[in-house]
Structure 1
Amino acid sequence: MHNDQREVVVKSLSRKTLSKQVEEQVIQLLVSGQLKPGDKLPTEMELLEKLEVSRPVLREALSSLESLGVIKRKTREGTFFSEKISSEPFSVMLALSIGRIKEIIEARMSLELGLVTLAAEKITDQQLELLRENIDKMKTADDSYPSYDREFHQIIALTVNNNVVAGMIDSLLIAFDKMSAEIQIRHPKTTIEHHEAIFSALQKRDPHAAFAAMYQHLDFVRQKILFEGDRLN
């Protein structure tokens, strides 16, 4: 009698997956309380030995955490956890969520749809002028177009005069931009049309119209990003 040995299939880990795991391990130093905001991380050599990964994978993970504002690298001093993390834990959550594009988009939609209705009540003439200038700049922008897109949404977030909400949307936009950077197909004309509709609703101080215009825009973004992401995978 012999054992029926079945073939076991194990999916190899991609470099992207390894980098994500390194990010999670570094953040765990903070979450577990071993290190605190502002503390210095172990040296690169120590991290390489403890994590057992290659230098390119480690550096890719650290660059990702730095772009999210979780860590700061200082020349000749080392790498430190940002001191602001204690007051902005949302950035840590987002760092752990990188790669979950569907969840990030839905979180952004949930937050911004509420924001834009409040903005319709609170927006000032000066802030409306900033939005108008932003749209005009976007119309003539080339490579800088995505930065104006993000700025448009940041201006709306600031109109509610709530630092917690503004910090959350800023972190969401950073995470969203980071994940959508590989998407090559852009639709600036459609984006500008959507921004114009949002601006018009805010100018009329109409929260219902502002909600509808923002939903149309973010739903378009959601469908585009998810479709393009599936196409590239």
Structure 2
Amino acid sequence: MKEYKMDTVRRSTLSQLVLEQIVQLLMNGQLKPGDKLPAEMNLMEQFDVSRPVLREALSSLETLEIITRRPRGGTFVNEKVGSNPFKVMLALSINNVPAVIEARMSLELGLVTIAAEKITDDKLELLKETIDSIQANPEGDYGQLDKEFHRIIAQSANNPVVEGMIESLLISHEKTDSLIPYREPDVTVEHHLAIYEALKNRDPYEAFKQMYKHLSFVRAKLLDSIERE
């Protein structure tokens, strides 16, 4: 069995430290795209953690598409992980909520200005449908509609270079969305409509302004929630 040189995880940071250790193995070249990880029992011994802790870390890595777990086949590092550093950086900071929301803001503010120049009428129609659906069912769990709204805008930038950034953006959206303590559908609809109108008018300056207003509101709500814990 191959032995990796790593620090033993001994304190109660649990799965996050295991995740960081595995990412570090990728960064220093001990693990490479396509490599098969040792069996769970071996990893538990090397990291000195329990099976639930290890599985939580592996689940997070799989969500980030850094590894793939194959039934009865083992766990493998994805071949494309080396070409998508954004997911690796996100993996290292996924529990640093202020950093995640700021990263999301930096990506979305750039993407929305490009989208204002490139968005098609079809995409605008899809955007409006997400807003209408939230209005029609304000008491529902509209997290997926919110995510779809932001996904459409990001993809409307139509730039293959930032494709990996968009995937990370959606992962960070899920992370921040899961931490929102309460919903305010009227505010969401108001903000989304303002962004939609700016995009419809092909106005990148107004689109930036309205997206900043929206994401600043989300950031303030999240940070306030964290401070109250």
Normalising by the residue count of structure 1, what TM-score does the alignment of the two structures yield? 0.87
Which residue of the partner structure matches residue 8 of structure 1? none
Residues in 2 aligned to 1:88 and 1:140: alpha-carbon distance in whole angstroms: 38
Which residue of the partner structure matches residue 5 of structure 1? none
Match of 1:173 among 170, 173, 176: 170
SS of the equivalent of 2:214 reads helix
Residue 213 of structure 1, CA deviation: 0.7
Identity over the aligned pairs, expressed in percent?
A: 59
Unaligned runs of 5+ in 2: 1-9
| 1:135 lines up with 2:131 in the alignment | yes
Aligned residue pairs total 219
Which residue of the partner structure matches residue 78 of structure 1? 74
Output the aligned Cα RMSD.
Answer: 1.8
Which residue of the partner structure matches residue 193 of structure 1? 190
Larger Rg: 1
**Are the aligned partners of 1:120 and 1:205 in contact in 2 as well (CA < 8 Å)?**
yes
SS of the equivalent of 1:73 reads strand
**Are the aligned partners of 2:116 and 2:204 in contact in 1 as well (CA < 8 Å)?**
yes
Which residue of the partner structure matches residue 60 of structure 1? 56
**Are the aligned partners of 2:131 and 2:189 in contact in 1 as well (CA < 8 Å)?**
yes
Residue 208 of structure 1, CA deviation: 1.5
Match of 2:209 among 197, 208, 212: 212
Residues in 2 aligned to 1:93 and 1:85: alpha-carbon distance in whole angstroms: 11
Question: Which stretches of structure 1, 4 residues or longer, exceed 6 Å deviation after superposition?
Answer: none
**Are the aligned partners of 1:198 and 1:213 in contact in 2 as well (CA < 8 Å)?**
yes
Residue 144 of structure 1, CA deviation: 4.6
Residues in 1 aligned to 2:107 and 2:20: alpha-carbon distance in whole angstroms: 25
- Taking a change above 3 Å as real, the CA distance of residues 61 and 150 of structure 1, as seen in their structure-2 partners, is same
Unaligned runs of 5+ in 1: 1-11
Which residue of the partner structure matches residue 156 of structure 1? 153
Which residue of the partner structure matches residue 4 of structure 1? none
Residues in 1 aligned to 2:204 and 2:198: alpha-carbon distance in whole angstroms: 7
Which residue of the partner structure matches residue 24 of structure 1? 20
